[in-house]
Amino acid sequence: MPRRQQRRPVFRRTKGERHADREDTSALDAGARRLLAANGNDARRLEALVHDLQQVCDQADRLAYESPSPDALREYRRASRELTEAQRAFNMAAGMAGGS
């Protein structure tokens, strides 16, 4: 008697995770546009902000590594998100200055 072929489980995405990347990108872009408007589209100010936030993120990373806790992880994620938004805003400002 021939062996019956085994069925493979089918991986299906759930509705909630279909556009997760797009939502994260749009939220990141919105934060970057807020920073851009708050800093008057000034690339130098945004570059200084990126530098400051890099230091804050490094400090939060160091703290989370030395004494792990939910609060430390939350602070690191917040600092990381703010840094990413500032970097995106700086890139937008640099693109506007280069395109003009």
Tens of pLDDT, residue by residue, the chain (100 residues):
667 777 776 666 666 555 555 557 888 899 999 999 998 888 899 999 999 999 999 999 999 999 999 999 999 999 999 999 999 999 998 887 666 5
Ordered by start, the domain boundaries in the chain are 28-95
Q: How many residues does the chain have?
A: 100
**Contacts for 19 with CB less than 8 Å, ≥ 6 apart:** none
C-alpha distances in Å from residue 58, one per residue of 40, 52, 71, 89: 27, 10, 16, 20
Instruction: Determine the pLDDT at residue 88.
Output: 94
Token pair of 96 as six digits: 């506007």
Instruction: Determine the pLDDT at residue 79.
Output: 96
Q: pTM value?
A: 0.72
Using an 8 Å Cβ cutoff, are 24 and 53 in contact? no
Instruction: Determine the pLDDT at residue 24.
Output: 75
Instruction: Determine the pLDDT at residue 4.
Output: 73
Instruction: Determine the pLDDT at residue 73.
Output: 95
Which runs of E-coded beta strand occur in the chain? Answer: none
